[in-house]
Amino acid sequence: MKKVTINSVAEYAGVSKKTVSRVLNNEPNVSPATREKVLKVFKELDYKPNPIARGLARNKSFIIGCLYDNPSKSYITRVQSGALEACHKFNYNLLIHPCELRGTELIENVGQLLTTSRLDGLVLTPPFSDSQELIDYLKKQDIPYARVASAIQDDSSISVRSNDEQGAFELTEHLISLGHKDIAFIKGHPDHSATEKRFSGYRNALMKHGIDFKAHLVAEGNFSYHSGADSAKEILDLDPMPTAVFASNDYMAAAVLKLATQRQLKVPQDISIAGFDNAPIARHIWPGLTTIAQPVEEMTRQAVEQLIMQISDPSTEVYQKVLEAKLITRESTAAR
């Protein structure tokens, strides 16, 4: 099977390759007759323009890169699916690139990525969306990027996040309204800005309702299930045991639930447990986890859509957006 290029199409149709290019890109100033003729040849030869050649000429690749370093597989797939939705809408594709925030090679690693594959833009998900070092680098390299769930204040770049603080506040109030006063808290990974946001939502709710904050009720997690299991042990070993646990994500909450169940504790009768994110696991276990639903897909979709807009027209105004997080109550929390 011989390769069909723009040249062969042009020759076959008896026009110049520039005219073929015009038809290809739906440019004006082609007579209907010619256009028709060329389109027919497209069909006849089954012509597919070479995206690489086009990329070289236009200096574009129509590929967006997605950077992440996150232990939650469901979070990652949600991010991907939001990003893909936006990409496909505009005929872009998505290249994924998990890498580690820590370690001196981050910049080098991303540099390598940009060297081996020219990307039109980058979506940064936590914790990268909070890495000032990375952002400075991208700015210097002049690579368009969009931040998802970032806490960095920067009006000159795209950012879509959800209201973590508000969500944590509401969830804590929910627990308080059920009569809980000793509410343990498991923090997330310190590199993620959401960690501090959720923590302060928790503290603010306590404060608003006149409940003293007790440092010994706070455990340090890192969003992984494993860290949740460690924190769970700390918390369930406390005497007196708190009546409720608020974990900064659902995986850690699931770990608490597992240990509690292993210890023959009844949830929610003996202890209430709540998570954050509304990951699939929150409804796959029994009792289902009360949690905060974050619109992860939607955040990413909007971020990528804005990113593509900005790529196609760099003069487009970029803006920052905050989406609402929503309380989902299930069976894991109850009045004490």
Q: Near a second copy by CB under 8 A, which window of 164-172, 230-238, 281-289, 319-327?
A: 281-289
Q: Which does 14 bind (CB under 5 to 8 A by kind): DNA, a second copy, none?
A: DNA
Q: Which does 181 bind (CB under 5 to 8 A by kind): DNA, a second copy, none?
A: none
> 149 and 129 in contact (C-beta within 8 Å)?
yes
Q: Near a second copy by CB under 8 A, which window of 16-24, 45-53, 178-186, 193-201?
A: 45-53
Q: What are phi and psi of 289, to 5 degrees?
A: -85, 130
> 227 and 247 in contact (C-beta within 8 Å)?
no
CA distances from residue 169 to 84, 209, 244, 307, 326 in whole angstroms, order as listed = 31, 11, 15, 31, 11
User: What is d(CA 254, CA 155) in angstroms, rounded to the nearest whole number?
Assistant: 37
| Shortest Cβ 195–a second copy spacing (Å) | 21
What the block records as the tokens of 89 is 């809408």
Nearer to a second copy, 117 or 177 (CB): 117
Residue 276 sits in the site that holds a second copy (CB under 8 A)? no
User: What is d(CA 288, CA 207) in angstroms, rounded to the nearest whole number?
Assistant: 28
Choice from 20, 23, 76, 124 touching a second copy (CB under 8 A): 76
Q: What is the DSSP letter of 263?
A: T
Residues engaged in binding DNA (CB under 7 A): 3, 5-7, 14-19, 21-22, 24-25, 28-31, 33-35, 48-50, 53-54, 56-59
User: What is d(CA 238, CA 244) in angstroms, rounded to the nearest whole number?
Assistant: 12
Nearer to a second copy, 30 or 63 (CB): 63
Q: Omega into 287 within 30° of 0, i.e. cis?
A: yes
- Binding characters for a second copy, 199-228, by CB under 8 A (x = yes): --------------------------x---
